[in-house]
Amino acid sequence: MQKKLYPALLLAFGLAVAAIVFFKKQGPPALPEPKNRIGTLAMGGEWLNTKAAMEGLLAKLRADPSDQKSRLLLAEAYMQEGRVTGNHPYYDAAAMQLLQEVLKAEPESFEALCCQASLSLTQHHFSQGLALAEKAQALNPNSGYVYGLLTDANVELGHYDQAVKMADKMNQVRPDLTAYARVSYLREIHGDVPGAIQAMDMAVKAGFAGLEQTEWSRVALGHLYEVSGHLDQAQGYYQQALALRPNYAYALAGLARVAAARKDYATAIHNLNLARATVKDYAFTDELVDVYRLNKQPAEATKMAQESVAMLADAAQQANDNEELGHYTDRELAYAYLKTNELDKALEHAKIEYARRPDNIDVNETLAWVHYKRGEYAEAQKYMTVARRTNSQNPVLLCRAGLILSKTGQPAEGRALIEKAVQVAPYLNPEVTAEGEHLLAAR
């Protein structure tokens, strides 16, 4: 008996020692390091200050790995860096790692839960973002920031009445740039464009000139003028944003759209390529598809369309591989596949997005348009009815709705919507406008 017991004890002792050595070697996860900015984003003092702040937080964490405040601040810095550079795959993953470590040590950290909710919304994990924001709200119901997250999540899930309530609450608790910007969007999708412009103007004035959030709001204000047919005002705000934040990619893209609307395609292409070289955002590549087609460069348009699909498909695969973190891009992929004339794939991805958030007006518009392009007009009308339920006056939406009505036995109503869209802003979507004008010409 003892002869058998002794080897077993030796084996158990050996396994215990091996486990201790193994777990000791594992230690805490390595701290994620910031990536150097490239191109024009690396110029100027902002990057030097941002990098110094990040390195300072890393130094604190190396000296004291239990410093959860510094870990949280570093996660917030990485989230903002992802927004500035467009490198969301790296910085969002880095921020999530840091936030999970904070919450492991402090499970009821309100700030960490808010950051996790914000990350989920950035990655289009809207139901997850809503759940996290509600958990944070239960911990601190007096925070304006958490009501902003609840507004965003409810908007994206199509819970518009609840989104309005949350935005009102945010403005009661903390009226600032982010609160006014959310009111602006809600007014826009409910058809009140003048009210949306007023609120976004308040957002711009509440910010500090030159900061990314402020110039994002200024570009958004320009876009409101763009979609309502006022190109001169739109151009003015895009130029201001570019002057106050040199090389700002979204201001460059805005100026590119204005140039394209005025048929200055060379300038539009130049500005969009500058934007692409600065920030990783598939939208710039997608916009180039339209401009190249307008400029009668089909080979370049095809190349950009295929690149858009590749960028979005890669992001979608990452999301499928990691349900917790990874950017859902199915709605964007549906439109991208329409541009490559892959209608089955467009429908597949539109349906995937619809399954996640069937009440969202943008998702319903996407599915309606895919069905329209496939010649499935009754199905298109079903989803377009939902897409128009907030009374949005977006000209592209109106033109698409008009085209669908014209195919479903309501030609007079359809023509009225198309005429309104074409009169206000015919430049917003060249393909949709061309279809609408062709129908009007056939009168």
Instruction: Please tell me the distance from the alpha carbon of residue 368 to that of residue 388, in angstroms, as a whole number.
Output: 11
Q: Is the pLDDT of residue 7 over 80?
A: no
Q: Which of 112, 88, 111 is nearest to 100 (CA)?
A: 112
Q: Of 390, 427, 318, 291, nearest to 333 (Cα)?
A: 318
> pLDDT value at position 16?
43
Q: Residue 106 — pLDDT band, cuts 50, 70, 90? A: very high
**Taking the complete model, does pTM exceed 0.75, yes or no?**
yes
Average pLDDT over residues 284-310: 96
Comparison of pLDDT for 441 and 216, the residue scoring more: 216
Residue 43: alpha-carbon gap to chain centroid: 25
Beta carbons of 174 and 145 less than 8 angstroms apart:
yes
Q: Which of 21-35, 131-145, 283-297 has the lowest average pLDDT?
A: 21-35
- Return the SS3 of 80: helix
DSSP string, 208-246: -TTSHHHHHHHHHHHHHHHHTT-HHHHHHHHHHHHHHST
Q: Which of 29 and 284 is assigned the larger pLDDT?
A: 284
**59: confidence class by pLDDT, cuts 50, 70, 90:** very high
pLDDT of residue 56: 96
Q: Can you give the pLDDT at residue 404? A: 97
Output the six-digit token pair for 47.
Answer: 């990057």
Query: Span 364-372, mean pLDDT?
Result: 98
Band of residue 43 on the pLDDT scale cut at 50, 70, 90:
confident
pLDDT over 70 for what percent of the chain? 92
Decide if 404 contacts 366 (C-beta within 8 A).
no
- Residues 224-235, mean pLDDT to the nearest whole number: 97
DSSP 159-199: -HHHHHHHHHHHHHH--SHHHHHHHHHHHHHTT-HHHHHHH
List all residues 6 or more positions away from 243 whose beta carbon is below 8 Å from its beta carbon: none
Choose among 135, 134, 138, 141: nearest CA to 162.
Answer: 134
Q: List pLDDT tens digits, range 310-358.
A: 989 888 777 777 766 778 999 999 999 999 999 999 999 999 999 999 9
Query: What pLDDT band is residue 18 in, cutting at 50, 70 and 90?
Result: very low
pLDDT tens digits for range 157-190: 999 999 999 999 999 999 999 999 999 999 999 9
For residue 40, the 8-state DSSP code is G
* Residue among 142, 36, 134 at smallest CA distance from 81: 36
pLDDT averaged over every residue in the chain: 91
Spatial CA neighbour of 193 closest among 395, 337, 41, 52: 395
**399-412 confidence digits (pLDDT tens):** 999 999 999 999 99
